[in-house]
Structure 1
Amino acid sequence: MLRYYFFISLVIGSVIYIAQKQNIVLPYIINNYVNDFLIVPICLTLSLIVLRYTKNNKHYYLKIYHAIYLALIYAVLFEIILPRIYERYTADIIDATLYFFSAIIFYTLQEKKITVVNNPVR
Structure 2
Amino acid sequence: MIRLLPLKRLHIYVLLSLTVFFVVQTSKYYSIAGPAWVFHYLNDFLAIPIIATIGLHGVWLIKQDKTLRLNGFTILSLVVLYSVVFEYYLPQQDERYTGDIWDVVCYGLGGLVFYVLQKIE
Q: Is the 8 A contact 1:75 1:96 kept in 2?
A: yes
Residue 118 (structure 2) pairs with residue 110 (structure 1): yes
- Corresponding residue number in structure 2 for 1:76: 84
Amino acid at match of 2:11: R
Superposition pairs of residues 1-122 of structure 1, within 5 angstroms? 1-111=9-119
- Which has the bigger relative contact order, CA under 8 A and spacing at least 6? 2
How far 1:84 sits from its partner (Å)?
0.8
Structure 1 CA distance for aligned equivalents of residues 120 and 74 of structure 2:
15
Task: Give the secondary-structure state (helix, strand or coil) at the position aligned to 2:33.
Answer: coil
Q: TM-score, normalised by structure 1?
A: 0.87
Deviations 1:38-81 (A, max 9, x none): 00110000110111122100111100111110010110011101
Structure 2 alignment gaps of length 5 or more:
1-8
- Corresponding residue number in structure 1 for 2:6: none
Structure 1 CA distance for aligned equivalents of residues 47 and 114 of structure 2:
11
Question: RMSD in angstroms over aligned alpha carbons?
Answer: 1.3
Task: Give the secondary-structure state (helix, strand or coil) at the position aligned to 1:110.
Answer: helix
Amino acid at match of 1:39: A
Structure 1 CA distance for aligned equivalents of residues 33 and 62 of structure 2:
42
Q: Which has the larger radius of gyration?
A: 1
Point out the structure with the larger helix share.
2
Structure 1 alignment gaps of length 5 or more:
114-122
Q: Is the 8 A contact 1:13 1:35 kept in 2?
A: yes
Structure 1 CA distance for aligned equivalents of residues 82 and 110 of structure 2:
12
Structure 2 CA distance for aligned equivalents of residues 93 and 74 of structure 1:
12
